[in-house]
Amino acid sequence: MQIYLDTAKVEEIREFAWLIDGVTTNPTLVAQAGRPFREVLREICALVRGPVSAEVISLDAEGMVREAQELARIADNIVIKIPLTPEGLKAVQRLKALGIKTNVTLVFSAPQALLAAKCGADYVSPFVGRIDDHGGDGMGVVAEILQIFRNYSFPTQVIVASVRHPGHVVAAATLGAPIVTMPYAVLQRLFHHPLTEQGIARFLKDWEKVPR
Ligand code: E4P
Protein backbone atom coordinates (compact mmCIF):
# COMPACT_ATOMS: atom_id res chain seq x y z
CA MET A 1 0.00 0.00 0.00
CA GLN A 2 1.27 3.43 -0.87
CA ILE A 3 1.29 6.16 1.77
CA TYR A 4 0.70 9.77 0.78
CA LEU A 5 0.86 12.76 3.09
CA ASP A 6 -2.21 15.02 3.01
CA THR A 7 -0.64 18.41 3.65
CA ALA A 8 0.78 21.53 2.00
CA LYS A 9 3.27 22.14 4.82
CA VAL A 10 6.73 21.68 3.33
CA GLU A 11 8.35 21.01 6.73
CA GLU A 12 5.99 18.05 7.35
CA ILE A 13 6.77 16.63 3.91
CA ARG A 14 10.52 17.11 4.39
CA GLU A 15 10.41 15.12 7.65
CA PHE A 16 8.78 12.10 5.99
CA ALA A 17 10.14 12.42 2.43
CA TRP A 18 12.17 9.22 3.01
CA LEU A 19 8.96 7.24 3.63
CA ILE A 20 6.06 8.64 1.64
CA ASP A 21 5.05 7.77 -1.93
CA GLY A 22 3.20 11.00 -2.76
CA VAL A 23 1.39 14.09 -1.49
CA THR A 24 -2.16 15.42 -1.74
CA THR A 25 -3.11 19.04 -1.16
CA ASN A 26 -6.38 20.93 -1.30
CA PRO A 27 -7.30 24.63 -1.04
CA THR A 28 -7.88 24.38 2.73
CA LEU A 29 -4.48 22.77 3.31
CA VAL A 30 -2.77 25.38 1.11
CA ALA A 31 -4.48 28.16 3.11
CA GLN A 32 -3.24 26.52 6.34
CA ALA A 33 0.32 26.49 4.97
CA GLY A 34 -0.03 30.26 4.55
CA ARG A 35 2.28 30.55 1.55
CA PRO A 36 1.84 31.17 -2.20
CA PHE A 37 0.39 28.06 -3.89
CA ARG A 38 2.81 27.72 -6.80
CA GLU A 39 5.87 28.35 -4.66
CA VAL A 40 4.76 25.62 -2.22
CA LEU A 41 4.04 23.19 -5.07
CA ARG A 42 7.50 23.72 -6.56
CA GLU A 43 9.12 22.94 -3.21
CA ILE A 44 6.96 19.86 -2.60
CA CYS A 45 7.70 18.48 -6.08
CA ALA A 46 11.42 18.91 -5.47
CA LEU A 47 11.14 16.83 -2.26
CA VAL A 48 8.84 14.04 -3.49
CA ARG A 49 9.26 11.98 -6.65
CA GLY A 50 5.78 10.47 -6.50
CA PRO A 51 2.48 12.12 -7.49
CA VAL A 52 1.66 15.52 -5.96
CA SER A 53 -2.02 16.47 -6.24
CA ALA A 54 -2.89 20.14 -6.78
CA GLU A 55 -6.52 21.23 -6.95
CA VAL A 56 -8.16 23.59 -9.42
CA ILE A 57 -10.55 26.32 -8.28
CA SER A 58 -12.58 26.89 -11.47
CA LEU A 59 -16.05 25.37 -11.64
CA ASP A 60 -16.36 25.12 -15.43
CA ALA A 61 -14.51 22.56 -17.55
CA GLU A 62 -12.77 25.15 -19.69
CA GLY A 63 -11.41 27.01 -16.66
CA MET A 64 -10.34 23.77 -15.00
CA VAL A 65 -8.43 22.66 -18.09
CA ARG A 66 -6.72 26.05 -18.33
CA GLU A 67 -5.68 25.95 -14.66
CA ALA A 68 -4.60 22.33 -14.97
CA GLN A 69 -2.35 23.04 -17.95
CA GLU A 70 -0.68 25.85 -16.03
CA LEU A 71 -0.23 23.77 -12.84
CA ALA A 72 1.07 20.77 -14.81
CA ARG A 73 3.92 22.91 -16.11
CA ILE A 74 5.30 23.24 -12.55
CA ALA A 75 6.66 19.67 -12.45
CA ASP A 76 6.29 16.26 -14.13
CA ASN A 77 4.76 14.67 -11.03
CA ILE A 78 1.84 17.10 -10.64
CA VAL A 79 -1.59 15.42 -10.66
CA ILE A 80 -4.61 17.69 -11.09
CA LYS A 81 -7.34 17.40 -8.49
CA ILE A 82 -10.77 17.91 -10.00
CA PRO A 83 -14.06 17.97 -8.08
CA LEU A 84 -16.70 15.34 -8.90
CA THR A 85 -19.17 17.38 -10.95
CA PRO A 86 -20.33 17.04 -14.58
CA GLU A 87 -18.03 19.94 -15.52
CA GLY A 88 -15.21 18.30 -13.56
CA LEU A 89 -15.61 15.01 -15.41
CA LYS A 90 -15.66 16.81 -18.78
CA ALA A 91 -12.35 18.37 -17.74
CA VAL A 92 -11.02 14.90 -16.79
CA GLN A 93 -11.78 13.60 -20.30
CA ARG A 94 -10.04 16.58 -21.92
CA LEU A 95 -7.03 16.37 -19.61
CA LYS A 96 -6.67 12.66 -20.37
CA ALA A 97 -6.45 13.51 -24.08
CA LEU A 98 -3.76 16.07 -23.21
CA GLY A 99 -1.78 13.50 -21.17
CA ILE A 100 -2.35 15.31 -17.85
CA LYS A 101 -3.10 13.07 -14.87
CA THR A 102 -6.18 13.64 -12.71
CA ASN A 103 -7.35 12.83 -9.19
CA VAL A 104 -11.12 13.19 -8.88
CA THR A 105 -11.83 14.54 -5.43
CA LEU A 106 -14.84 15.01 -3.14
CA VAL A 107 -16.06 11.49 -3.90
CA PHE A 108 -18.65 10.29 -1.40
CA SER A 109 -20.32 7.35 -3.16
CA ALA A 110 -19.60 4.35 -5.38
CA PRO A 111 -21.65 5.67 -8.35
CA GLN A 112 -19.60 8.88 -8.30
CA ALA A 113 -16.39 6.83 -8.40
CA LEU A 114 -17.79 4.72 -11.27
CA LEU A 115 -18.46 7.86 -13.33
CA ALA A 116 -14.97 9.22 -12.65
CA ALA A 117 -13.39 5.92 -13.70
CA LYS A 118 -15.49 5.80 -16.90
CA CYS A 119 -14.25 9.30 -17.76
CA GLY A 120 -10.64 8.18 -17.42
CA ALA A 121 -9.61 9.54 -14.00
CA ASP A 122 -6.20 8.26 -12.92
CA TYR A 123 -7.21 8.43 -9.24
CA VAL A 124 -10.41 8.84 -7.23
CA SER A 125 -10.42 10.10 -3.65
CA PRO A 126 -13.29 8.85 -1.49
CA PHE A 127 -13.47 10.97 1.69
CA VAL A 128 -13.99 8.31 4.35
CA GLY A 129 -13.77 10.62 7.38
CA ARG A 130 -16.38 13.04 6.06
CA ILE A 131 -18.68 10.12 5.15
CA ASP A 132 -18.34 8.75 8.70
CA ASP A 133 -18.91 12.26 10.13
CA HIS A 134 -22.27 12.28 8.34
CA GLY A 135 -23.30 8.94 9.79
CA GLY A 136 -22.28 6.90 6.74
CA ASP A 137 -19.82 4.04 6.37
CA GLY A 138 -16.73 5.45 4.67
CA MET A 139 -14.90 2.14 4.43
CA GLY A 140 -18.04 0.46 3.11
CA VAL A 141 -17.99 2.94 0.22
CA VAL A 142 -14.29 2.20 -0.39
CA ALA A 143 -15.04 -1.55 -0.46
CA GLU A 144 -17.79 -1.01 -3.07
CA ILE A 145 -15.51 1.15 -5.24
CA LEU A 146 -12.67 -1.38 -5.12
CA GLN A 147 -15.05 -4.19 -6.11
CA ILE A 148 -16.53 -2.16 -9.01
CA PHE A 149 -13.07 -1.24 -10.31
CA ARG A 150 -12.04 -4.92 -10.12
CA ASN A 151 -15.24 -6.05 -11.91
CA TYR A 152 -14.52 -3.86 -14.93
CA SER A 153 -10.71 -3.79 -14.75
CA PHE A 154 -10.68 0.01 -14.48
CA PRO A 155 -7.08 1.22 -14.16
CA THR A 156 -8.23 4.10 -11.89
CA GLN A 157 -6.55 3.90 -8.49
CA VAL A 158 -8.34 4.56 -5.21
CA ILE A 159 -6.78 7.06 -2.81
CA VAL A 160 -8.48 6.64 0.57
CA ALA A 161 -8.76 10.24 1.80
CA SER A 162 -10.12 12.26 4.72
CA VAL A 163 -8.39 9.82 7.04
CA ARG A 164 -8.90 10.61 10.73
CA HIS A 165 -7.03 7.90 12.66
CA PRO A 166 -4.84 4.76 12.32
CA GLY A 167 -7.98 2.57 12.30
CA HIS A 168 -8.87 4.04 8.90
CA VAL A 169 -5.40 3.10 7.62
CA VAL A 170 -5.72 -0.47 8.87
CA ALA A 171 -9.22 -0.80 7.39
CA ALA A 172 -7.99 0.54 4.02
CA ALA A 173 -5.02 -1.85 4.00
CA THR A 174 -7.26 -4.78 4.96
CA LEU A 175 -9.48 -4.00 1.97
CA GLY A 176 -6.41 -3.84 -0.27
CA ALA A 177 -6.79 -0.16 -1.16
CA PRO A 178 -3.73 0.80 -3.19
CA ILE A 179 -3.17 4.26 -1.64
CA VAL A 180 -4.04 6.05 1.59
CA THR A 181 -3.43 9.77 2.08
CA MET A 182 -3.24 10.92 5.68
CA PRO A 183 -2.50 14.01 7.72
CA TYR A 184 0.91 14.38 9.38
CA ALA A 185 -0.58 13.68 12.84
CA VAL A 186 -2.03 10.34 11.70
CA LEU A 187 1.26 9.29 10.06
CA GLN A 188 3.09 10.08 13.31
CA ARG A 189 0.58 7.96 15.26
CA LEU A 190 1.25 4.93 13.03
CA PHE A 191 4.72 4.60 14.58
CA HIS A 192 3.58 4.51 18.17
CA HIS A 193 2.55 1.75 20.53
CA PRO A 194 2.86 2.13 24.34
CA LEU A 195 4.51 -1.30 24.62
CA THR A 196 7.23 -0.25 22.14
CA GLU A 197 8.05 2.83 24.23
CA GLN A 198 7.88 0.86 27.51
CA GLY A 199 10.02 -1.87 25.98
CA ILE A 200 12.74 0.58 24.94
CA ALA A 201 12.73 2.18 28.41
CA ARG A 202 13.07 -1.21 30.10
CA PHE A 203 15.85 -2.39 27.78
CA LEU A 204 17.81 0.82 28.40
CA LYS A 205 17.35 0.48 32.18
CA ASP A 206 18.50 -3.15 32.11
CA TRP A 207 21.44 -2.24 29.88
CA GLU A 208 22.79 -0.08 32.72
CA LYS A 209 23.19 -3.29 34.77
CA VAL A 210 25.38 -4.97 32.14
CA PRO A 211 28.98 -5.11 33.43
CA ARG A 212 31.37 -2.93 31.40
C1 E4P B 1 -7.90 14.49 0.06
O2 E4P B 1 -7.17 14.51 -0.91
C3 E4P B 1 -8.24 15.65 0.89
O4 E4P B 1 -7.19 16.58 0.83
C5 E4P B 1 -8.41 15.34 2.35
O6 E4P B 1 -8.15 14.00 2.64
C7 E4P B 1 -9.61 15.93 2.98
O8 E4P B 1 -9.69 15.55 4.32
P9 E4P B 1 -10.59 16.28 5.41
O10 E4P B 1 -11.94 15.69 5.37
O11 E4P B 1 -9.89 15.95 6.71
O12 E4P B 1 -10.56 17.75 5.09
Domain boundaries, the chain: 2-207
Query: Which residue numbers are catalytic?
Result: 81
- Residue ranges of the chain with pLDDT lower than 50? none
Q: Which residues contact 184 (CB under 8 A, 6 or more apart)?
A: 5, 7, 9, 12, 15, 16
Contact 20, 197 (CB under 8 A): no
pLDDT of residue 177: 98
Residue 22 in contact with ligand 1 by CB distance below 6 A: no
At the topology level, CATH places domain 2-207 in TIM Barrel (3.20.20)
Buried b (16+ CB within 10 A) or exposed e, 70-101: ebbebeebbbbbbbbbebbbbbbebbeeeebb
The CA-atom distances, in angstroms, between 147 and each of 122, 143, 209 are: 17, 6, 56
Residue 12 in contact with ligand 1 by CB distance below 6 A: no
Residue 125 in contact with ligand 1 by CB distance below 6 A: yes
pLDDT of residue 136: 98
pLDDT of residue 69: 98
181 Cα: distance to centroid of ligand 1 (angstroms): 8
pTM: predicted TM-score of the whole model, two decimal places? 0.96
Q: pLDDT tens digit string along 99-120?
A: 999 999 999 999 999 999 999 9
